[in-house]
Structure 1
Amino acid sequence: MSIERIAVLGTGANGASIGADLVRAGYDVTYIEQWPAHVEAIRANGLTVVSQGEKTVTDVRAHHLCEVAEMREDFDLVFMLVKAYDARWAAELIKPRLAPDGILVGLQNGMMADDIASIVGVERTLGAVIEMASNMFEPGVVNRDTPKETAWFALGALDGGPQDRAEEVAEILRAAGNVEVVDDILSAKWMKLVVNATELVSAGVVDLPMVEAADLPGMRAFMVEAGVEALEAALDLGHRALPMFGLTGGAEDGPQAYVNALIDAVYEHYAIPTTLTTVHQDWVKGRRSEVEEINGLVVRERARKGRSAPANAVLREIALGIEAGTETPGEHHLPRLLAALSTD
């Protein structure tokens, strides 16, 4: 089949800017979004993307979630960029409008590929990894920190899935960045979770942009420890430490060296001094984060093996306190984070 009709389900900062790239490359793209003001702003003024001092405005079709029930034509390809905790209901929402031979790509954080496949079928599912930084605090306006030239994605099927179509989808997604087709997408997604475990919540907890947070005394060692715990959880599950983000090596030199290399790659290629992590952005907006799907997952998987994950556990604990209103973000949490380094 040929891919003609594409939907982007979840057009926050990353989804909206990726969708705009696809539209500008000539693809037929429909936005489906849960923030009403964002949809109305796009309809009125187009989608504005500000990147490296340049502003582009793209006319796109934007629909509210409730309008999916009114749609009659199917989509050949859906890129889903909702939060990990929204993946199951979002897959159910779009399932009736996914073509019988269509493909749903979970282009999001967290280990949700199996959940998506359980809803739309493994034969219509591709897993994905995304590495790019954007933010959006005004409806209809995206600030993209990672330009197309350095944005990085990986695509691949689960066992029994449509690996033979991964390159076809990758060619479309290359309108938004660099895309690799991999033969072990679950390992790749776990390695992205390793990176996320190091930085997303830690920077948000101390209420600083990524670059400033990593420069705090002791923070880099803490981040590495959180990443090593996540890596060990992945390895215990039988996954592999794959090269990521264009790197050529895995964990041959040891877990700490591997995690350090991943952190270096992210900070060198995907972060600028003002970049806020997605968790930090969620808290600025008063929303809950994906901490349970990232650090919480590491804690749970390690516990299943009778092992602890003190760095991830303290991040989860503080994050849940912030979201419950019993804690406030700030550098006053740094001693509490560093204390986890000496915990067995």
Structure 2
Amino acid sequence: MAFLGTGAQGASIGADFVAAGHDVTFVEQWPDHVAAIRENGITVNLPKRSFNVRVPALHLCQLAEVRQPFDIVFIVMKAYDTKWACQLIEPYLAPDGLVVGLQNGMTHEDIAAVVGRERTIGAVIEIASNMFVPGITNRENDHDTSWFAMGALDPKTQERVESVADLLRCTGTVEVTDDIRSAKWMKLVVNAAELIPSAVVDLPLADAARDPGMLEVMREAGYEAMRAALADGSKIVSIIGMPPVTTNDPERYVDQIFEKVLTTFSSQDTLTTSLQDWRKGRRAEVREVNGWVVDILAAHGQTAPMNQRVVEVALEIERGTRELTTANTAVLVEALHKVRSNA
């Protein structure tokens, strides 16, 4: 197996695979990280324990040295890197090999466009990690609060999903679903509410939710995302270990799932992956999450004004024309008032 992308999430999951005795290779684009892993192994710091494992690590340019094809490739890269990453790894995938996208966003279709639907497994991931030092990842969820869902795009491949899920159970709870598209949409709903909105105000997720007016901003972004999901043909399905959906109120379900993330899958100092990206000088998954909501609703003749404003502010931050500061709360709250006054 290969883990393509071994940042905070990929490294911690891949390390669990190694600790469980699986044959794993890390493939990574950060040269210092590759060097650190080769010298000292990968260290995973969890809330109450730490461990270190040795694992083969290749830089992207060394894939050409691979002789034995991979049976399974887990892609744990940013959503915007999916297409080129799949094009890179496809020549090194076994003819009946599988690619699993452990990513935010609706990346399963990008994967399938490169390797084929019959070789694609979509996945949902719910853990929180950070990495600021090469060779060391800090994971905030141990196995008991790490959750994944998996499902094939091609019904003929669905029978193979359980065996892959069983491998992934070395790192957390894994549910197999025959509607991975809906499950990924539900995760995008909560991501639209939490990732970029909390990053825009330069606060940990929990602090952002407590900032006056921001919880309502984040919920509104989630409500629009749920409308996009339903317009796109998704069903409201249970994810992240929540009980079966019993409410007929989509917005009520958004509130429930967002609360679950805040109370179970994040800590008081959790920085979303988007804020981590910005603090590292990298771009975040703005267009792939909140922008996706805007585009899908536009395709159905609807608007997503809260998500649109989030995207605008986020892109201004990335262009350097707006400061990353808690003062941006006022901008988003003002946009929320406009949304509600026009409703």
Q: Same fold (TM over 0.5)?
A: yes
Q: 1:60 is matched with which residue?
A: 55
Distance 1:226 1:177 in 2: 29
Secondary structure in structure 2 of the residue aligned to 1:166: helix
Paired residue for 1:18, among 10, 13, 18?
13
Alignment of 1:68-147 (within 5 A): 68-147=63-142
**Counterpart pick for 1:325 among 302, 320, 327:** 320
In structure 1, the partner of 2:189 is 194
2:297 maps to which residue? Answer: 302
| TM-superposed deviation, 1:251 | 6.7
Distance 2:148 2:228 in 1: 23
Which residue in the other structure is 1:152 paired with? 147
Identical-residue share of aligned pairs (%): 53
State the one-letter code of the partner of 1:48. Answer: T
SS in 1 for 2:327: helix
| TM-score, structure 1 normalization | 0.97
**Hey, what's the Cα distance between the residues in 1 that align with 2:122 and 2:148?**
10
Match of 2:232 among 230, 237, 246: 237
Equivalences, count:
339
- The one-letter code sitting in structure 1 at the alignment partner of 2:10 is G
Shift of 1:307: 1.3
Opposite residue 31 of structure 2, the aligned amino acid is P
Contact 2:118–2:154, Cα closer than 8 Å, also in 1: no
Q: How far apart are the structure 1 equivalents of 2:246 and 2:210?
A: 24
Distance 2:146 2:234 in 1: 24
Secondary structure, counterpart of 2:233 in structure 1: coil
Aligned to 1:283, what secondary structure does the other structure show?
A: helix
Counterpart of 1:3 in structure 2 is none
Residue equivalent to 1:311: 306
Q: Equivalent residue of 1:142, what SS?
A: strand
Aligned to 2:32: 37
Distance 2:213 2:245 in 1: 25
Give RMSD over aligned pairs.
1.0
| 1-structure distance, mates of 2:184, 2:228 | 13
What TM-score do the two structures reach when normalised by structure 2?
A: 0.97
SS in 1 for 2:96: strand
The residue correspondences of 1:133-282 to structure 2 (distance < 5 A) are: 133-250=128-245, 252-282=247-277
Deviation at 1:160, TM superposition (A): 4.0
How far 1:341 moved relative to its partner? 2.0
Alpha-carbon offset, residue 106 of structure 1: 0.7
SS in 2 for 1:105: strand
SS at match of 1:153: strand
Structure-2 separation of matches of 1:49 and 1:161: 36
1:36-78 deviation digits (Å, cap 9, x = unpaired):
0000000001101111142211111111000011111101111
CA deviation after TM superposition for structure 1 residue 242, in Å? 0.4
**Larger deviation, residues 264-273 vs 276-285:** 264-273
In structure 1, runs of 5+ residues without a counterpart are: 1-5
Q: 1:149 aligns to what SS in structure 2?
A: helix
Task: Work out whether residues 124 and 161 of structure 1, in 8 Å CA contact, stay in contact via their aligned partners in 2.
Answer: no
2:331 matched residue in structure 1: 336
Tell me the secondary structure at the aligned position of residue 156 of structure 1: strand
Paired letter, 2:266: A
The one-letter amino acid paired with 2:6 is: T
8 Å contact from structure 2 (residues 226, 251) kept in 1: no
Give the direction of change, closer, same or farther, for the CA distance of 1:52–1:308 in structure 2 (3 Å limit): same
Residue 340 of structure 1 deviates from its aligned partner by 2.2
Amino acid at match of 2:34: V
Code of the residue aligned with 2:216 in structure 1: it is A
Question: 3-state SS of the aligned residue for 1:104?
Answer: strand
Unmatched segments (≥5 aa) in structure 2: none
